[in-house]
C-alpha cells in the first residue's frame, strides 16, 4: 500500500524528461496578449494541447511561445495597421503644435503679421511727419541762430532725441 501512495505523488517520469508546459493564462501573462487571441493563434497554427483536463489545457511552452512570438511584441501591436498608427502620431503632433501656438498667442510671444504691419506703418508715418514735416517748420528760426556747426549739430541731436522719446511714449507696443 505504501508503494501505491508513493506512485501517486511521483514528480519525475521514467524515460525522457517532460518538456515545460503552460496554460493559456500563463501564456497571457508571459506575452501580454489576450486569452482569446492566444487561443485563436494556437488554433490557427494547429497546435494541440500536450495535456488536457476539463478546465485546463496545457500547451508545450516552447512551441506556443514560438508561434505567439512570430507576431509583433505585445506592447507594439495595437491590432491596427501601421498606417493608422502613423496617422495617430501625426495627429498628436499637429494637436501639440496647435496648442503651443495658442499658448504663445495668449502670452504675447506670438503676434499676427497684419498687426505688426499696421503698427509699423503707423510708427513710420509718425516719424516721417515729425522729422520731415514738422521739425524743420517749427525749428527753422532757432536753428538759424546757431553760430557754429557744433552748436547746430548738438541742437539737432537733442531735438531728434526728444522726438524719438516722444515716439517711444506714443508707441509702447513696439518698444
Place of cell 495535456: 51
30, 59, 77 - which closes a domain: 77
The per-residue pLDDT for range 92-101, each reduced to its tens digit, is: 999 999 999 9
Question: How many independent structural domains does the chain possess?
Answer: 3
Does any domain span residue 131? Answer: yes
The per-residue pLDDT for range 19-29, each reduced to its tens digit, is: 888 888 888 88
Q: Are residues 53 and 68 both part of a single domain?
A: yes
Does any domain span residue 52? Answer: yes
Q: Give the rounded percent of residues in the chain with a pLDDT score beyond 90.
A: 18
Q: Which domain holds residue 140?
A: 113-174
Q: Are residues 55 and 41 both part of a single domain?
A: yes
Does any domain span residue 2? Answer: no
Phi, psi of 60 (to 5 degrees): -65, 120
Q: Pick the closest to residue 61 from 22, 31, 32, 33 (CA basis).
A: 22
> Model pTM?
0.39
Q: Are residues 97 and 51 both part of a single domain?
A: no
Does any domain span residue 25? Answer: yes
Does any domain span residue 66? Answer: yes
Q: Are residues 70 and 24 both part of a single domain?
A: yes
Amino acid at each position: 500500500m505504501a508503494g501505491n501512495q508513493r506512485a501517486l505523488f511521483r514528480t519525475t517520469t521514467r524515460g525522457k524528461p517532460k518538456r515545460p508546459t503552460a496554460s493559456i493564462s500563463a501564456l497571457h501573462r508571459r506575452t501580454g496578449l489576450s486569452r482569446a487571441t492566444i487561443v485563436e493563434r494556437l488554433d490557427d497554427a494547429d497546435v494541440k494541447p500536450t495535456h488536457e483536463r476539463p478546465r485546463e489545457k496545457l500547451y508545450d511552452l516552447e512551441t506556443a511561445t514560438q508561434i505567439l512570438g512570430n507576431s509583433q511584441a505585445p506592447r507594439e501591436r495595437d491590432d491596427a495597421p501601421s498606417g493608422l498608427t502613423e496617422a495617430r502620431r501625426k495627429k498628436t503632433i499637429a494637436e501639440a503644435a496647435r496648442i503651443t501656438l495658442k499658448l504663445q498667442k495668449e502670452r504675447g510671444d506670438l503676434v499676427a503679421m497684419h498687426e505688426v504691419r499696421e503698427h509699423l506703418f503707423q510708427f513710420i508715418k509718425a516719424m516721417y511727419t515729425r522729422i520731415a514735416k514738422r521739425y524743420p517748420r517749427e525749428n527753422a528760426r532757432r536753428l538759424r541762430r546757431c553760430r557754429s556747426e557744433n552748436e547746430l549739430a548738438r541742437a539737432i541731436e537733442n531735438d531728434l532725441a526728444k522726438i524719438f522719446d516722444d515716439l517711444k511714449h506714443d508707441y509702447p507696443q513696439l518698444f
